Amino acid sequence: MKVGLYGIRGVYNFGCEAIVRGAYQFINSIYPESEIIYFSYSADFDKAALADLNIEIRPIIYNKKIANRLINKIFRIFHINYRYLMFDANKVIDSVDLFLSIGGDIYTIPKVLRKKRKYLFYNSLVDFCNRAIKKGKPVIVYGASVGPWGEYKVAVNYYINALSKYKAILCRERESVAYLRKFGFKNVLFFPDPAFQVRGENKYVKKKYIGINLSPLAFNEVYGNHGIVYIKGLAKLMDLLWEKYEIDILFIPHVISKAPDDNDLWFMEKIKDNMRYKNHVQIADVSKGFLGAKEHIAECRAVIAARMHCAINAVEENIPTIFVSYSQKSIGMCKYIYGDCDMLVDLQRMDQDLFKVLDKALEGEENIARRLKLRNDEIQQYYRENVEHIKEILSIKNG
């Protein structure tokens, strides 16, 4: 059996790296004799980052015909839910037996759009998976948050009609499961985020920082931009944090993209440049990706993270972790980890609520670390106990 992984732009997003690594383990658990093929938009980078995995990485070859691009622009203008995909989708689809649709917020509508009465909702991943299903190739969503889609019925129906045809939707938090079941979905199940299978060594090192991950994407999702007003506001908040706690700050980039609006490193460098106490800020060297970031996260007394997989990376190290919420996924994951939302701060209320939550994290540091150790063990046990159940549901038999 040939299993294709498709849906992410590249593992320059360390959450996507964790998803690929977790999906690799998941597929080997379900069907150990399979060939795994990851279709990549940044194949050279991804091959280097994933060199330790027995996985074939095939590049997505763009074919950007000017005529097709112009037609796609017309489709966008007139809200036609079809596009010319800028690669040979049929060749990709025909080369495997089954697809895992991988990624994080890949089936959601940003909050800034959901506020509108009507909004664009075409999703190229949905389009690709529709084509695969029409060719008889099953599609399984693995490790995603799904929804919300807002109140625009045309958009909601678009997603319902598409995802109801998937073989299975394995959601990483229960809020997505509840949301889909509200629409009558029968093919949805909860299963832990793939990143929980990417374990570190949990070596003890001296803890001397408050770790911070801030993302321009989060501000784009909530406010529609991540401009200088937000950068200066965050710089002021970081200055207040250092004044209050006198603990040095470690900025932890989680996505290093060529596009500034999705580049944590660029964003946090700008924040640091605008800080009064920039001499008390370090930026972690994350050149070794998701696994390498663990070495720096381990040096933190607490971590405050907007990127959910950065938060999971810290949780796996048993470090008190505060989720900065800008979408449903962080709420669901915080509840999954802690059982409540006491360690969650809404992005729009960071200046009002962050220090109250951080006080709790630092005061209860040892107790929270012990709770997280127990919770991580429980998650691993759940994975082991339920992977066989998933295998039966997917009707995939060994050998």
CATH number of the domain located at residue range(s) 2-198+378-393 in this protein: 3.40.50.11720
CB-based burial label for 65 (10 Å; 0-12, 13-18, 19+): exposed
Neighbours of 225 (CB within 10 A): 13
Higher pLDDT among residues 175 and 211, named by residue: 211
CATH number of the domain located at residue range(s) 209-363 in this protein: 3.40.50
How much is the pLDDT for 399?
37
pLDDT at residue 31 tops 90: no
DSSP 146: B
Quote the tokens at residue 83.
């596009």
The model's pLDDT over 261-295, given as tens digits with 9 standing for 90+, comes to 899 999 999 999 999 999 999 999 999 999 999 99
Strand partners, 190: 171
Give residue 277's identity as a one-letter amino acid code: Y
DSSP for 100-122 reads: EEE-SSSB---HHHHTSSS----
How much is the pLDDT for 392?
82
Cβ pair 348, 222 in contact under 8 A: yes
Local confidence band at 395 (pLDDT 50, 70, 90 cut-offs): low
Q: How confident is the model over 244-273, as a mean pLDDT?
A: 96
Short-list 235, 217, 258, CA closest to 112: 217
Q: How confident is the model over 46-65, as a mean pLDDT?
A: 94
How is the chain split into domains, by residue range? 2-198+378-393, 209-363
Left (φ > 0), alpha (ψ -120 to 50) or beta: where does 320 sit?
A: beta
Short-list 337, 340, 343, CA closest to 358: 343
- What is the helix (H) or strand (E) element at residue 287, kind and residue range? none
| Integer angstrom CA distances of residue 272 from 140, 200, 237, 280 | 41, 29, 11, 10
Q: What is the mean pLDDT of the chain?
A: 93
Quote the tokens at residue 272.
């640091």
Cβ pair 71, 95 in contact under 8 A: no
Q: How many Cα atoms are found within 13 Å in the side-chain-facing hemisphere of 186?
A: 2
- What is the helix (H) or strand (E) element at residue 321, kind and residue range? strand 321-325
Q: Percent of the chain beyond pLDDT 90? A: 83
Fold agreement between 2-198+378-393 and 209-363:
yes
The model's pLDDT over 304-329, given as tens digits with 9 standing for 90+, comes to 999 999 999 999 999 999 999 998 78
Strand partners, 212: 251, 304
Cα distance from N-terminal residue to C-terminal residue, the chain: 10
Among 19-28, 68-77, 202-211, the range of highest mean pLDDT: 19-28
pLDDT at residue 369 tops 80: yes
The pTM for the full model equals 0.91
How much is the pLDDT for 398?
39
The model's pLDDT over 120-175, given as tens digits with 9 standing for 90+, comes to 999 999 999 999 999 999 999 998 889 999 999 999 999 999 999 999 999 998 99
Instruction: List alpha helices for the chain, DSSP H.
Output: 14-30, 43-49, 66-77, 89-94, 111-114, 124-134, 153-163, 174-182, 216-223, 228-245, 264-273, 289-297, 308-316, 328-338, 350-363, 365-393
CB within 8 A of 285, min separation 6: which ones? 292, 296
**Max Cα distance, the chain (Å):** 62
